Amino acid sequence: MTDAVDAGADLFKALGDATRRTILDELADRDGQTLFEICGRLAMKHGLTSSRQAISQHLGVLEQAGLVRTRRDGRYKFHHLDTGPLRALVERWPIDREASP
């Protein structure tokens, strides 16, 4: 286990931005959206004014982190949420399941 250093650096970096977390929320609410759909719904429901390119770059970061998987069909590119990498995050530190503050 050489170092076991920081398995999901990209994962944490991807989750570090508020816009990207909102994108994940959106994909959790409606999976398989295109870039333009995401842009529109972010503007409508969440009041985000980011440009299309900004959202595209965010999606690139999320995809690199493994949180989003894409599927091309013609000129459309659908984005799907993948919460698999989050499991590693959960298991990294011991979380008390009980204990309500």
Contact residues toward its own copies (CB under 8 A) are 5-6, 9, 12-13, 15-16, 18, 21-22, 24-25, 28, 46, 81, 83-84, 86-87, 89-90, 92-97, 99, 101
Q: Which residues pair with 72 in a beta bridge?
A: 77
Instruction: Indicate which single residue of 27, 42, 61, 62 sits in contact with DNA (rule: CB under 7 A).
Output: 61
Residue 77 binding partner per list DNA, its own copies, none, with a CB distance cut-off of 5 to 8 Å that depends on partner kind: DNA
25, 27, 91 from 31: Cα distances, Å: 10, 5, 25
